[in-house]
């Protein structure tokens, strides 16, 4: 290698770190669709489940695919938020029911032992 070769800049371009998806954007049809960074806990769970989140550079749409269907990330996060709220409500109702059953059993055991005082 002589000095003239090292002084001349290379005509080859560097490999891109992110390659566009082979499927176009479902909203605008652009080919510049890339993997998107995970933004929330929900998206981390989805990525662990194997769902790859994509973002279109032309229109900014963030989505994932499930089989042949396109799921918008805003819709997925809203659905998971509602499911978490329902699970929280069911858990709360279960705790209330357990407390009522426990209290009833406790009162019944006091009555059988003769420790319950009835005031009339």
pLDDT at 89: 98
Residues 6+ away with beta carbon under 8 Å from 38: 44, 47, 53
Q: How far apart are alpha carbons 39 and 24 in whole angstroms? A: 22
Enumerate the domain spans of the chain.
Answer: 17-112
The two tokens of residue 91 are 């858990």
The two tokens of residue 31 are 């080919």
pLDDT at 91: 97
The two tokens of residue 103 are 């209290």
Residue bearing tokens 């229109």:
59
pLDDT at 90: 98
What is the residue-level pLDDT of the chain in tens, covering all 120 positions?
455 545 555 555 555 555 655 788 888 888 888 888 778 787 888 787 778 888 898 898 888 888 878 888 888 888 888 999 999 999 999 999 999 999 998 888 876 655 556 666
């Amino acid at each position: 290698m002589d000095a003239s070769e090292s002084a001349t800049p290379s005509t080859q371009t560097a490999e891109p770190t992110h390659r566009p998806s082979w499927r176009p954007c479902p909203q605008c049809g652009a080919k510049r669709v890339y993997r998107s960074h995970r933004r929330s806990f929900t998206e981390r769970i989805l990525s662990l489940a194997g769902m790859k989140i994509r973002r279109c550079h032309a229109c900014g749409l963030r989505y994932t695919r499930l089989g042949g269907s396109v799921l918008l990330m805003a819709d997925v996060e809203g659905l998971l938020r509602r499911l978490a709220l329902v699970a929280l409500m069911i858990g709360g109702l279960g705790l209330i029911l357990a407390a009522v059953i426990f209290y009833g059993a406790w009162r019944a055991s006091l009555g059988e032992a003769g420790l319950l005082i009835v005031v009339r």
